[in-house]
Structure 1
């Protein structure tokens, strides 16, 4: 009896640790009317299994440490196992001593084109480029983990960004869009990871730590102090604007955080927000209509 109990505890201890992501993958194929919908449903199941059951890092995550995230794939064309799609990636992290989860990433990848045969096995090898489907999903898995780590420890995400950067190097010769600086614009996977690893954008990563660990995680102890530290974090982020106006990382930050910032500074202990609103309008002018709702 005691041997069986010990075995069960051992099995449970292994099952309670491991994978890093708690991810929901959804596929929309409403625009596809001339294909068997089963292939899209099979792909959705396969991707959910792949993302949530792959060990992305060498670190063991406790069950309660798994990162909540989602990937929404919108299929716009399909023919002969070739898919044309976009990918919306989102993630969040819990805030200490609260039931609130703060959005960390909200990014739209407009060049997610891949091939998939129904029933094929999806396997991640960090040292090879086997398919664009696997590479893109693996890239964002590492970015999600990196951003989450940066929010808990200053520059904590470097190892995971390096893994994503390695995928860019492996995939750049595969011919798929989104992996090269020559693909046009500055809003693709190449620029995202290049900027995250660049010293020019170091204030972005510093602000992630200050904003989440230094400000939001302290809200339950002292809300006014937490809001003040959030202002400090936003001033750190503004350093990016000073050298690279309208930078990708700045836009990405506010795509995730705008509504949260408005809610944070519109309630709770009153503060003089005039300087904050001026700062926000300068750093993220596209959201000026929302900033003006801060009272």
Structure 2
């Protein structure tokens, strides 16, 4: 009996202290022509363990609350311990009352070079720089956590986004691309700077309204939920007038364009005239999808 009680307590404690992410990691080195080298397999295994075992915040979560996310590293070149790659990061979140999961973050970071020695220790310190490999991953992990939190609570991702900004600040000391203002409008610097700027405040409002007031209410009243989603998306109009074609809008619609097309091409009819006008203005690159919306 005591053994059973101990086992119950142990399992319960593991559940409430589970890490925040349920992550898959893929290291694809096909472009190098040497994709079967052991060092790539070791890197993949180490990164999986690093992401899954690191405690990224003070928040306690159950295993069911873990965020599903994918990290795909496509290595194009390597020389010794130096690697050139791109990093695709995707995350999703469950929709209340359904088995459906909605994409929350989808980004392709093309400024990803790093040093790696096989079996080196991978340790994240939230207050200091360790390596570009760790900094880039930690930055996007905090973006995943922040986007997820914003979708459940108004500006719920503040702590995560501010830590992402801290990572940008202490990573600027090294000579790697993506961390500085001079690195352009689609850098890690630009992404977090925009996200925390009052100019783009509507973005975070949309994240909450779209998910919590829209998608999460689909099971109660699909027509009302669609109207809420349309109302949320129209908020992008003012933001786009101030800063047309912003990186934040691209990040949002890279994750959401296909879903928006599906939502408004099925189910009960709602007035979409203003919505279509907004979508064509703020995300013209997806105009072929907007043309498919018929209801």
User: CA RMSD for the aligned pairs?
Assistant: 1.2
What is the DSSP-based 3-state SS (H/G/I as helix, E as strand, rest coil) of the residue aligned with 1:84? strand
Residue 34 of structure 1: how far off its partner (Å): 5.1
Give the distance between the partners of 2:222 and 2:22, measured in 1 at CA: 29
User: Kindly tell me: are residues 231 and 40 of structure 1, through their superposed partners in 2, closer, same or farther at Cα, counting changes over 3 Å?
Assistant: same
Q: So what's the TM-score if we normalise by structure 1?
A: 0.97
Could you say what secondary structure the match of 1:59 adopts?
A: coil
- Report the secondary structure of 1:16's partner residue: helix
C-alpha change, 1:49 and 1:180, in structure 2 (3 Å) is same
**Corresponding residue number in structure 2 for 1:166:** 166
Q: Whole-Å Cα distance in 2 between the matches of residues 89 and 36 of structure 1? A: 23
What corresponds to 1:265 in structure 2? 264
The reply to whether residue 147 of structure 1 matches residue 175 of structure 2 is: no
Distance of 1:35 and 1:72 partners within structure 2? 14
Provide the TM-score with structure 2 as the length reference. Answer: 0.97
Runs of 5+ consecutive residues of structure 1 not aligned to the other structure: none
Task: Provide the rounded CA distance (Å) in 2 between the counterparts of 1:36 and 1:152.
Answer: 41
Q: Which runs of 5+ in 2 are unaligned?
A: none
The aligned residue for residue 286 of structure 1 is: 285
Cα distance in 2 between the residues matched to 1:109 and 1:33: 22
Deviation by residue 1:180-201 (Cα, 9 ceiling, x = unmatched): 1112x21111111111111111
- Counterpart in the other structure of 1:192: 191
Q: Which residue of 2 aligns with 1:216?
A: 215
Indicate the residue corresponding to 2:247 in structure 1: 248
Structure 1 counterpart of 2:203? 204
In structure 2, how many angstroms separate the alpha carbons of the residues matched to 1:14 and 1:119? 30
Assess if the C-alpha contact under 8 Å between 2:91 and 2:103 holds in 1.
Answer: yes
What SS class does the counterpart of residue 19 from structure 1 fall into? coil
1:93 aligns with 2:93: yes
User: 1:136 corresponds to which residue?
Assistant: 136
| Count of residues in Structure 1 that have an aligned counterpart in Structure 2 | 293
User: How far does residue 33 in structure 1 lie from its aligned partner after superposition?
Assistant: 2.6
Deviating above 6 A after TM superposition, structure 1's stretches of 4 or more consecutive aligned residues are none
Partner of 2:216, secondary structure, is: helix
**Residue 28 of structure 2 contacts residue 35 of structure 2 at CA under 8 Å; is this kept in 1?**
no
1:191-225 deviation digits (Å, cap 9, x = unpaired) = 11111111111100010000000100000000000
**Aligned twin of 2:80:** 80
Contact 1:72/1:88 (<8 A) preserved: yes
